Structure 1
């Protein structure tokens, strides 16, 4: 794996390095020692798999509140998505800035998202599947969200949104009183 730091401290873009032969290929997606080198010292306690059928669908922007904040690692195993994270860390020099990365089955990229970030994605193709590793258990009542099109984040989605859940449509817009998590 090759870990490339993004412009947001703690967020890494991870390139898998498949080794192949006439049978196909093999690639490592996690190694405790390699992740320790970037400061990851938590256990993955939950692994989730999502399927989204329609191109243009947006899921996000989601986060968990303290003390249930979580680290995520996301990989697309079918289709392609634009994956986006927003820095919500209180007093961070990149507070409310975002970064993005295309994740696809073809490019085999992953994104490592530390605690204190909101996460979401838009499907660039039909029939997208993502695998998420989480360092904390999902805790109902400790979740938060930001509107996918909040003007304070400046996210430019590449496609017109086709599907957005009622929950994601109800996330609040940020205001000057939001100090982060």
Structure 2
């Protein structure tokens, strides 16, 4: 898609509070404009309820940040969501997922050198995205690495980023970084 279906909003479309929030978020992420927010914040009620939920999963959940980023990167890769990939390649580096490990995440299941935990997480992501559920053997494998609350969070995280990828791709949200 060459142009956004819903262009990023400015102060008029976002309202003063939304516009200020989007400016602050862009400053915090060190980008000129946080297009995900300037598009979604045009639906104020949805944005202000989705934002805390999404933020919790990304920043305050019970999953280790490396696992969170592995799941997001794999979901974005499977859904061919360049926006998510651009954002989370950078964030994953900051959270300890180096470029070599990221390449293995994208090459899975043909990649070697991943831990049993990483393989269990990737298998689960693949099944959730493709089938909207998990096989019993994949669930048992995941149970060996995550506690009950982490299991709930993991499934919810993958579902959230799958839905977000669909939203970003369909709305044509512009990239935030020039690369």
Higher strand share: 1
Greater helix share, structure number: 2
Give TM-score, length-normalised by structure 1.
0.28
The normalised TM-score by structure 2 is 0.28
